[in-house]
């Protein structure tokens, strides 16, 4: 497809397709494909993160939808999973997310949720792109849509989050450092945790339009690690800019990534008889996670990278839990998409019920050494057919044999090739990853 990638449309603000004119046309196309509800006027909700370009793109999307005769309900800053939840409960024809997730402030993006709160299937995205090729026609004035503010959007999502853990769970006495990444969760997550009784020290909660993800959040956990140690906290919680990722830090300042969090949740669910099948990870999930599941007789399957593919495999298998090392964790019995706050609450419930610290729970998994190097490429560059890279990968795989594995994949959101190697010997993993990254880098230069 021309516009849609693995996670909606994303790019640098002011460059196609992230321009006001294209986003307005996108809104018009969305309205024509999804907006009508039988014979009555449709309704679509729009939420955004905290980056400065959100104001502009929100207005452009709103104008496109209204010109197609669709009523618009504006949520303001709202985590991506909150938009998915409200799209479902508001009986909207779609939910629009204006966010570039963990990317820097100068990027932005658009993605859509269906009335069920799920990401749109490829065939609907394809239909939207086809409509975008047509001339935009504004409906008659009497048929134009209207825009309103969604009433108490934040409060509704806060109550939903709190309702996802058992009533007997309290966070009284637990000291938590919370990092909101200066993103969409800055006014949501603190309320959820404090209302459940936690003593909070909050960082990354002062968005200015430019500081989203900068030095804070799930993709930059050093600030959280330092704050946990400085505050003498029991643990730390880091969300990313749009609130769908979770990384935690134990009382010793050690990072507990998505792989370990998924294991903690899965083992607790299995003990309660509530796992409902196995767990889905990705090709990037650590080998140690797979080994831990095998040791506990829990089935584990790997999907392609991206929460969309994790979700597809979960639904195909009829399973309830899955996610990525990066912190996208999907609890299908609670949410239709990855939700950092909801996942954090489930881990906190495991701590409450077991009486164990986060460090003790995370020790169930031995992490195999893993190194990943991002190699910048030109947009549209396809490495899959490069003979020199194929030969180098085959050589590294032969050398590692059964002591490790190689993953080479393009990023779905950035012009990068991710080169990942994991194995038993850390020095060997690092050396081989640097070697392979150099080969990929040279291939991009020669192309």
Among 40, 33, 77, 38, which residue's Cα sits nearest to residue 55? 77
Q: Would you state the structure tokens that stand for residue 109, as one six-digit string?
A: 């993006």
Annotation says 101 is catalytic: yes
Provide the 8-state DSSP code for 303.
Answer: E
In angstroms, the CA 381 to CA 415 distance is 9
CB 213 within 8 A of CB 247: no
Helices (H), 196-305: 222-231, 258-272, 287-295
In angstroms, the CA 192 to CA 188 distance is 6
List Cβ neighbours of 247 (8 Å cut-off, separation of 6 or more): 218, 221, 224, 238, 255, 256, 257, 258, 327
Give 358-406 as a DSSP string.
HHHHHTT-PPPPEEEEEEE--TT---TT-HHHHHHHHHHHHHHGGGEEE
Task: Give the Cα-Cα-Cα angle 91, 108, 152 (nearest 5 degrees).
Answer: 35
b/e string for 135-172 if b means 16 or more Cβ within 10 A? Answer: ebeebeeeeebebeebeebbebbbebbbebbeeebebe
Q: Which of 101, 285, 326, 335 is catalytic?
A: 101
Give 58-112 as a DSSP string.
HHHHHHHHHHTT-EEEEEEE--HHHHHHHHHHTT-SEEEEE--TTS-TTEEEEEE
Q: Would you state the structure tokens that stand for residue 433, as one six-digit string?
A: 């990853």
Beta strands (DSSP E) in 174-291 are 175-179, 199-203, 235-239, 246-250, 255-256, 279-282
- Stretch (H or E) spanning 46: strand 43-48
Among 68, 129, 76, which residue's Cα sits nearest to residue 93? 68
Among 426, 386, 380, which residue's Cα sits nearest to residue 403? 426
User: Any bridge partners for residue 200, and if so which?
Assistant: 176
**Which residues are tagged catalytic?**
101
């Amino acid at each position: 497809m021309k516009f849609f990638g693995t996670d909606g449309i994303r790019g640098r603000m002011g460059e196609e397709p992230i321009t006001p004119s294209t986003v307005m046309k996108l809104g018009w196309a969305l309205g024509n494909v999804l907006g009508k509800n039988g014979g009555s006027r449709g309704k679509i909700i729009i939420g955004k993160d905290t980056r400065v370009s959100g104001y502009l793109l929100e207005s452009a999307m709103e104008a496109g939808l209204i010109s197609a005769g669709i009523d618009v309900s504006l949520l303001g800053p709202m985590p991506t999973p909150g938009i998915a939840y409200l799209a479902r409960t508001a009986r909207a024809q779609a939910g629009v997310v204006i966010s570039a997730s963990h990317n820097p402030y100068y990027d932005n993006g658009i993605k859509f949720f269906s009335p069920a709160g799920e990401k749109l299937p490829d065939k609907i995205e394809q239909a939207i792109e086809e409509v975008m090729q047509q001339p935009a026609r504004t409906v008659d004035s009497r048929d134009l849509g209207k825009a309103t503010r969604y009433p108490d959007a934040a409060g509704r999502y806060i109550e939903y989050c709190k309702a996802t853990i058992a009533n007997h769970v309290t966070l009284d006495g637990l000291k938590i450092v919370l990092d909101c990444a200066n993103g969409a969760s800055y006014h949501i997550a603190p309320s959820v945790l404090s209302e459940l009784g936690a003593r909070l020290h909050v960082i990354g909660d002062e968005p200015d339009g430019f500081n989203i993800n900068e030095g804070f959040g799930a993709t930059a956990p050093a600030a959280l690690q330092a704050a946990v140690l400085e505050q003498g906290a029991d643990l730390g919680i880091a969300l990313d800019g749009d609130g769908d990722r979770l990384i935690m830090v134990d009382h010793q300042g050690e990072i507990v990534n998505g792989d370990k969090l998924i294991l903690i949740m899965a083992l607790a669910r299995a003990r309660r008889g509530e796992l409902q099948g196995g767990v889905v990870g990705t090709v990037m999930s650590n080998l140690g996670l797979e080994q831990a599941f095998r040791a506990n007789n829990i089935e584990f399957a790997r999907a392609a990278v991206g929460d969309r593919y994790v979700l597809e495999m979960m639904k195909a298998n009829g399973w309830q839990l899955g996610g990525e090392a990066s912190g996208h964790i999907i609890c299908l019995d609670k949410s239709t998409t990855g939700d950092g706050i909801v996942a954090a609450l489930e881990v906190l419930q495991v701590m409450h019920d077991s009486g164990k610290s986060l460090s003790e729970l995370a020790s169930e998994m031995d992490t195999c050494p893993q190194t990943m190097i991002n190699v910048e490429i030109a947009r549209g560059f396809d490495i899959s057919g490069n003979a020199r890279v194929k030969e180098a990968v085959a050589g590294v795989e032969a050398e590692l044999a059964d002591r490790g594995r190689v993953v080479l994949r393009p990023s779905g959101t950035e012009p990068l090739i991710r080169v990942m190697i994991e194995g038993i010997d850390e020095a060997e993993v690092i050396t081989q990853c640097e070697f392979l990254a150099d080969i990929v880098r040279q291939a991009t230069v020669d192309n």
